[in-house]
Structure 1
Amino acid sequence: NMPIHRRLRFGNLMEMSVLDTRQYRSDQACGDGRKPSCAAHQDSNRTLLGEAQRDWLFQHLATADATWNVMAQQIMMAGLRSVSTDGEQLWPMDIWDGYPHERSALLNHLDAVGTPNPVVLTGDIHSNWAANLHLDFDAPNSKIVGSEFVGTSISSGGDGQKKK
């Protein structure tokens, strides 16, 4: 257990919280992969950040005073659910969609404390995305509390295919 989460400050312009979404998380629910929701998926005790890192992040976000407040982390935060051929919703259990209660707590915290200009930077998905972070991903008209930019690796074409 070597903590890698940390905070970097660039004057008044930006403060970056570098998060670890791998080391402290609960196991992926429902057998991992894209799955229908199950009891474990809806368990509010499951965590992606772990209690200590989540408390550290929430405390920082509550007192953030930089113009831009960036969270750099490994997995997509915006909703990325899909629907199976028989109409069943499928959740990618290895990203924030697989930890809906903790994502909701984080987004509601951003809103409640008024963190200035929150931005999430993400990698590890082999495609590029830009997304609004809504308080409720089931309600597209719900309040937007931040933005997310997802970048791919240098060896990926950005559309999920390897670059040759």
Structure 2
Amino acid sequence: MEMLEWIPVEQAGQIETVCELAREIWTDRYLGAYGSMELDYLLRTWQSPGAVCRQIDGGHMEYRLICYDGAEVGYAALREKEDALWVYHAYIRGEYHGNRTVTGMLELIERECAARGLARVYAVVDRKNSRALDYCERLGLHLLERRIWEAGPGFPMELCVFEMKIRK
């Protein structure tokens, strides 16, 4: 039986892996939605080794590698605040969709909340990520709000914040 693991990112090699996954997955997911310059800017600013290291060291974000049957297939970026777990990034390589990896990742997020005694998850989803939006809607997650976020000079992004209550 295949296993899905959730591994805290703590070492430089793990940070490199997260950034490689981000480049691969974001290019696949967003290149048609954003131009290559915008995509390069986002990856350089938010998902480069230096940026991820600053986020972790500054206590702004926790990262997890997601492994499926031993292979590194995705990652998540989380932050506990306001008595909830905020999920800012949760990505699985496209070829692993359909193997229950996305559902398994959701179960890992629920377990993380339970371990921390949290009753809610807020998932922040880019409006241009139609696959993730469809999945949130199929799960019946509540769309709490839409936000415009200035990702860079003259580069606004529309983000959707979904709420999920955790069963205790």
Q: TM-score per shorter chain, which class?
A: 0.3 to 0.5
Which structure has the highest helix share of the two?
Answer: 2
Instruction: Tell which structure's C-alpha radius of gyration is larger.
Output: 1
- TM-score w.r.t. the length of structure 2 is 0.32
Which structure has the highest strand share of the two?
Answer: 2
- TM-score w.r.t. the length of structure 1 is 0.33
